[in-house]
Amino acid sequence: MQMLMPEPQIFVERTLAIIKPDVAHKEEEIEDIILRSGFMILQKRKLQLSPEQCSNFYADQYGKMFFPNLTAYMSSGPIVAMTLARYRAVSYWKELLGPSNSTSAKKTHPHSLRAIYGTDDLRNGLHGSRSISTAEREIRFMFPEVIMEPIPTGQRARDYLNLYVKPTLLAGLTALCKEKPADPMVWLADWLILHNPNKPRLQHHGTEKKHQ
């Protein structure tokens, strides 16, 4: 009896990452870890928040004892905000960060980012969104000019691939098999650029009339 393999599905999430003021100088080092951990950095900006902006960003923490210290700390210097993307981005980024208390992280998760870059519960080095809905709100806060279009998943992703990707890719692979080039990947990349159905068409009618 032949086993039916499940169709591959595409699930991509976005999450917000913040390198906090006291470790902002480690930006390149941390970015390298992020990229090697399978994330894409979709957006990045370096900025300094005012205490009022910090209060708005951490509005869900308002009223807690540490809130004044948190807003003072987060507005004390430049931060680096990044939108990260990958499969299960929210949970994978939280796992890479480790426990929010860096002192505990050093004992239980010594290889986590907060164990490496943080010093205590407040100054824990980095921030990560708690959930997908929180990530959407936080990304809009840090990158207000970015349009957050929903990424297709499940059947919508398969429909998108069938409509916009597979016809051109199939034609390219067929041409590749006929050509049998020495470097098939480079050849296919060049072919896809040349035969991109969404490539803009240049209009030369005005130029032709001038030369007639």
**Residue range 105-115, pLDDT digits in tens:** 999 999 999 99
**Residue-wise pLDDT tens digits, 169-201:** 899 999 999 999 999 899 998 898 888 776 654
**pLDDT the model gives residue 212:** 47
Q: State the architecture of 13-142 in CATH terms.
A: 2-Layer Sandwich (3.30)
Instruction: Kindly write down the DSSP assignment for every residue of 124-139, as one continuous string.
Output: -SEEE-SSHHHHHHHH
Catalytic residue flag (residue 127): yes
Reading the block at residue 19, the tokens are 């390198």
Q: Phi and psi for 160 in degrees, rounded to 5?
A: -65, -45
Please name the amino acid found at residue 94.
K
Is the pLDDT assigned to residue 50 strictly greater than 90?
Answer: yes
Provide the 10 A C-beta neighbour count for residue 158. 16
Domain 158-195 class in CATH:
mainly alpha
The residue ranges of every structural domain in the chain are 13-142, 158-195
**pLDDT the model gives residue 76:** 96
Q: Out of 25, 111, 127, 204, which one is annotated catalytic?
A: 127
Is the pLDDT assigned to residue 155 strictly greater than 90?
Answer: no
Contacts of residue 31, defined as CB under 8 A and 6 or more positions apart, other chains included, come to 41, 82
Report residue 141's pLDDT band, with 50, 70 and 90 as the boundaries: very high
Q: What's the pTM value of the predicted model, to 2 decimals?
A: 0.66
